Amino acid sequence: MTTKERLACGERILRSIDARRQSTKNPNDLLPLEQAIVDRELLELDSEPIASEKELLKPNRGRKSGAQLADLRLRRSGRSRSRGRASGA
């Protein structure tokens, strides 16, 4: 499952939890499940290398696309996109 698919799945689950809370009027309904999903995503974000602080603080850098951000992460981690594609292409 890709990150995008996992996030979409988590979003659907969180929306259904919210709908259930609204219908039961119980704000604590399924709270442990919601917390587990949020904790998992926060851990995943924390473990991913991000762009260098220098890149983030550049003035007028404009909005970066997902591909550009992925390239920054890969460069920072010392990996290359071509390595991952060579075995799957």
Q: For 42-82, write each residue's pLDDT tens digit.
A: 888 777 666 666 665 666 555 555 666 566 666 665 554 44
Q: Looking at the structure, do residues 34 and 70 belong to the same domain, yes or no? A: no
The per-residue pLDDT for 16 is: 95
Q: pLDDT for 12-32, tens place per residue?
A: 999 999 999 999 999 999 999
Q: Looking at the structure, do residues 1 and 43 belong to the same domain, yes or no? A: yes
Range of the domain at 55: 50-89
Asked whether the beta carbons of 43 and 10 are under 8 A apart, the reply is no
Q: Looking at the structure, do residues 25 and 63 belong to the same domain, yes or no? A: no
The per-residue pLDDT for 41 is: 87
Q: Looking at the structure, do residues 29 and 55 belong to the same domain, yes or no? A: no
3 — pLDDT class (breaks 50, 70, 90): confident
Q: Sign of the C-alpha dihedral, residues 86, 76, 7, 10? A: positive
At CA 8, angle to CA 35 and CA 29, rounded to 5? 30
